[in-house]
């Protein structure tokens, strides 16, 4: 079985954010970092070269593949912000809550557990914080923190 390539690193989140090419993305990253810290109560950790994660969980699939991954997080990519919210797959209740919150979020796109936002000015920050909170709670229910 292959291992996850994306793992926690020793790089500091602050240094990563400060090294960003665009001042708008750096500021959005700082706002998101504060929001994720507030919602999760977890310190930010770099996962791989570009993902900022909060908490972690251990998964094991029926196939036998297992590993560790961030519970929630984001990456301030060059073209857009990528948010990693895995709660959608935890249960139908969370999926329905997500649909309701996303209906008032603003401008975004989505693929699987990734939510893409061009810039935070495009979305309702209260709705975004609620979305993070709902997905965080769902992950904690399915994968209780140790």
Q: Given this structure, which CATH class describes domain 13-142?
A: alpha beta
Where does residue 113 rank: exposed (0-12), middle (13-18), buried (19+ CB within 10 A)?
A: middle
Give residue 2's pLDDT band: very low, low, confident or very high (50, 70, 90). low
Alpha-carbon gap, residue 115 to 81, rounded angstroms: 8
- Answer yes or no: is pLDDT of 86 > 80: yes
Taking only the tens place, the pLDDT of each residue in 23-71 is 889 999 999 999 999 999 999 999 999 999 999 998 888 888 888 999 9
pTM: 0.92
CB 46: neighbour CB atoms within 10 A? 19
- Please report, for the chain, the start and end positions of each structural domain, with discontinuous segments joined by +: 13-142
| Cβ(48)–Cβ(6) below 8 Å | yes
Mean confidence (pLDDT) of the chain:
92
Q: What proportion of the chain, given as a percentage, has pLDDT over 70?
A: 98
Strand 44-47 to 51-60 pairing: antiparallel
Check residue 39 and give its pLDDT: 98
3-state secondary structure of 128: helix
Give residue 1's pLDDT band: very low, low, confident or very high (50, 70, 90). low
The residue with greater pLDDT, 12 or 66, is 12
Check residue 145 and give its pLDDT: 85
| Cβ(67)–Cβ(75) below 8 Å | no
The residue with greater pLDDT, 21 or 38, is 38
The mean pLDDT of 91-115, rounded to a whole number, is 93
């Amino acid at each position: 079985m292959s291992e996850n390539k994306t793992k926690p690193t020793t790089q500091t989140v602050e240094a990563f954010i400060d090294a960003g090419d665009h001042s708008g993305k750096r500021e959005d990253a700082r706002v998101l970092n504060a929001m994720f810290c507030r919602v999760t109560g977890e310190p930010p950790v770099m996962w791989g070269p570009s993902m900022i994660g909060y908490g972690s969980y251990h998964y094991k699939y029926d196939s036998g593949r297992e590993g560790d991954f961030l519970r929630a997080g984001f990456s301030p990519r060059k073209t857009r912000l990528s948010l990693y919210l895995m709660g959608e797959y935890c249960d139908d209740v969370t999926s329905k809550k997500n649909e309701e919150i996303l209906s008032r979020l603003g401008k975004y796109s989505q693929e699987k557990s990734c939510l893409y936002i061009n810039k935070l000015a495009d979305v309702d920050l209260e709705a975004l914080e609620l979305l993070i909170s709902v997905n965080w709670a769902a992950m904690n229910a399915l994968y209780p923190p140790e």
